[in-house]
Structure 1
Amino acid sequence: MEILGSTFDDSVFEEARDKVCIPLPSYTAKVCEPEWFCERVTTEDELETQKVFKFRADLAYSRKEYQKSLDDYSTCLSLVPEGNLTIRRDILEGQARCYCYLGMRDQALEVIDKLRKEATNTCHLTCVLNLELTLHRHFGDLSKEVRILQQLVSLHPYNPWHWKSLAGDYLRLFRSHLAVSCSGVCLCGDGREQGGDREGAQTLPEGTAQNSRGGPEQLVEDGEHRSGLDLVQQDIAGIHRTREWISTAVQDQCKERERAWLQACMCFIRTRLLLRMLRVQQSSFVLQRNREALQEVEEALECLEPKEAMLQLITEAMGRDLVAERMREDSQDGESLAGLCISDFEERWYNSVESAVLQARSE
């Protein structure tokens, strides 16, 4: 049919056909009693049995019954097919957490290593790194905790919370170095070294004046073979070696303290830059959390007391890649690990900031 130059299908004007109503089968929802899975297993269905042990393990873990949870996770894992990688990862992670809270660190690391080998994309790898981070935090291994956070910020360079956690760890390192410096070896007013504690004397290098004497009896025995001049020269040489050793130790401690200070500053500044960029897109409790985090960052920087010129220098270095278009292009969520290259934290971040600081100081 053609009306006013427009063509219509004749079927449009036909009477509607009678629709045949097909009755739907009745559906009765299954009603489960609370903690139904804690009852005795009566089914022979492996999938149903697998669910039962998985639910039991999760419940025991929530109640902090870690040994019972570990046993149920192990039973469940034996029922999961090799090809069901999603459930396997979930159960293996539960096992690793149980091992962690049971104090079985080596077993937890073995499970984490297995999860790392089975990871196929960046989301899997992120979960493994977060799990390993939890393990090192539980056992108080700060150096390994820092190493894992470095990998996380390198994998997700625009995640402010990873940067904030890393900044907090560097701040702890700086304070620990500062505490050692305050309680360690210091110089007296006349230039003589004075140990901060008595234990430090036990770590002196061999051959020093303190370690060369074995008491009056040893001194008498030595006197039978050595002249008084030899003993005096030996004591003087031991004192010089002690002074050199103390001086080297103090210098190394100062370098480590300055390094931790700079790393803490750059991570806090990076966190502040990212939080400020995200603030315009946030609202409600998310925005409130952002504001609280920014306040914590400002307070930490006040404690670190970087000079204005240093603050500006680090801000420029840590904000060079913060461009909206580039941030979208560099998103790696869910990408395959094949060909993925995680840049080294030292090379990408610290070395560039350190060289810029050294250049500014030379000028």
Structure 2
Amino acid sequence: MEEFMGAEFEDSLFEERRERPRPGPAPTYTAKACEPQWFCEKITSKDDVEILTVKKFRGDLAYRKQEFQKALQEYSNCLELLPATNFSMGRDIWESQARCLAHLGRPREALSIAEKLRQEATNSDHLTTVLYLQLAIYQSLGALEKSILALQQLVSLHPFNPWNWKKLAEVYLRLGPAKSSPSSPPLNGFPSADPTFRAPLTSSGRDAPSRSLESQNRPDRPRTRFSPGVESGKAAASCHGQEMEEGLTGFPGLLAGGNQLDSTVKIRVPEGSTEIRVNACSSFVRSRLLFQLIESQQTSFALEKNLKAQEEIEEQVKAFGFEEETLLLISEVMGEDIIPEKVKDEGHAEVKCVGSAALDALVIASVKEFEDRWFRKIEEHIRTFENRGH
């Protein structure tokens, strides 16, 4: 009798099953322990990845110690070993180099790297990092108008970050006296670039002349990556909040003439400049509204910093001397889009991965565009109110 196709038995069905070995005790795991600053020892490994890691750590340590020339050299050595396909670490090292160059009095080269990073940015996280880098360089130069544009672009990208709004208000207030100061540095008056420098850096820049900023004797924090986090509830309003706020201190904000500004000193409100007064006050009010939104979700030092910032803002708002009606209008206009559900949705939004042209569309193109969007309605109201003789 013929067998049907597919009905035959496999020989493996009649084989004896092999007994599986019983699992024994798991091997003991011993975590590798590294001594403090282990990467400062002589390199004995021939593994390029390990050598690259060691040099990167050495550069970061030198930066923290404010040995910026040494850090710059270590970062340059890293680039010589870095595979061309490792874009993530490449961006990290280029940013570190730019911050070193700014501290060494070579802002033109630092801005060149920042512009290169901006052109190669492919998502909103990259753009956020570049904007903070540019802001740090502009602030180190006392270039207040360009600092304002960088902050406005950050606000456009992250409109619910209270620290950005607070910083924007503070820079507006510095803009008034700086405009009338004869010692204000021109925005394009950067020191000449080192002709041996190329971006990304190589070791050819090691002997370039530099003007150290270490004499400012201000402890500096290592550079920080700003990655949009996914948060829940009202806490989403402070997307990048704490780390971004700290990242702004990577370089001290400078007044005209290079004097360092203590952020705890109360800033005088410029007289007679309605536009600057409105812009600064409105930014402070917006910041306070956002701080209040996330206050219930914070504890410990985060809540302490929040409440302290609100106290500072309260003092500043009172100093403007605006009528109660005007302050109510400012609060209404600056808070009309602050809806908890909307803020929550933004906190859960993914990083936008798009091309350079599409990224540029996410931020404002000019100061006028930003101020028309946020402040024009308030300015018109105040002018009308003042014309009535109040």
What is the TM-score with the length of structure 2 in the denominator? 0.64
Contact 1:96 1:109 (C-alpha < 8 Å) held by counterparts: yes
Q: Which of 367, 370, 373 lines up with 1:348 in the alignment?
A: 373
Match in the other structure for 1:65? 67
Q: Which of 335, 344, 348 lines up with 2:352 in the alignment?
A: 335
Q: What 5-or-longer segments of structure 2 have no aligned partner? A: 1-18, 183-269
Q: In the aligned structure 1, how far is the partner of 2:161 from the partner of 2:101?
A: 29
Read off the aligned partner of 1:111 and give its amino acid letter. I
Match in the other structure for 2:275? 259
Q: 1:354 to 1:329 in 2, by over 3 A?
A: farther
User: Segments of 4+ in structure 1 off by > 3 A?
Assistant: 22-34, 174-180, 329-333, 337-340, 355-363
Q: Which of 82, 85, 105 lines up with 1:83 in the alignment?
A: 85
Structure ranking higher on relative contact order (CA contacts 8 Å, 6+ apart): 2
Contact 1:122 1:333 (C-alpha < 8 Å) held by counterparts: no
Q: 1:30 to 1:281 in 2, by over 3 A?
A: closer
Q: Say what the alpha-carbon RMSD is for the aligned residues.
A: 2.7
Match in the other structure for 1:46? 48
Read off the aligned partner of 1:349 and give its amino acid letter. W
Q: What 5-or-longer segments of structure 1 have no aligned partner? A: 1-16, 181-253
Match in the other structure for 1:302? 318
Match in the other structure for 2:342? 326
Contact 2:162 2:291 (C-alpha < 8 Å) held by counterparts: yes
Match in the other structure for 1:224? none
Contact 2:117 2:130 (C-alpha < 8 Å) held by counterparts: yes
Match in the other structure for 2:132? 130
Question: Does the residue aligned with 1:119 lie in a helix, a strand or coil?
Answer: coil
Deviations 1:140-185 (A, max 9, x none): 11111111111111111111100000011112223556889xxxxx
Match in the other structure for 1:113? 115
Question: Does the residue aligned with 1:280 lie in a helix, a strand or coil?
Answer: helix
Q: In the aligned structure 1, how far is the partner of 2:286 from the partner of 2:334?
A: 6
Q: In the aligned structure 2, how far is the partner of 1:103 from the partner of 1:143?
A: 20
Q: 1:28 to 1:39 in 2, by over 3 A?
A: same
Deviations 1:47-105 (A, max 9, x none): 11111211111111111111111011001012111221221121111101110110110
Read off the aligned partner of 1:268 and give its amino acid letter. F
Q: Highest CA radius of gyration, 1 or 2? A: 1
Q: In the aligned structure 1, how far is the partner of 2:119 from the partner of 2:97?
A: 16
Match in the other structure for 1:141? 143
Contact 2:128 2:154 (C-alpha < 8 Å) held by counterparts: yes
Pairs aligned (count): 274
Read off the aligned partner of 1:284 and give its amino acid letter. S
Read off the aligned partner of 2:363 and give its amino acid letter. I
| Greater Cα offset, 20-29 or 112-121 | 20-29
Q: In the aligned structure 1, how far is the partner of 2:82 from the partner of 2:181?
A: 51
Q: In the aligned structure 2, how far is the partner of 1:102 from the partner of 1:352?
A: 43
Percent identity of the aligned residues? 42
More helix by share: 1
Q: In the aligned structure 2, how far is the partner of 1:173 from the partner of 1:259?
A: 11
What is the TM-score with the length of structure 1 in the denominator? 0.68
1:1-363 equivalences under 5 Å are 20-25=22-27, 27-176=29-178, 257-331=273-347, 334-338=351-355, 339-340=358-359, 341-343=362-364, 344-358=369-383
Read off the aligned partner of 1:52 and give its amino acid letter. V
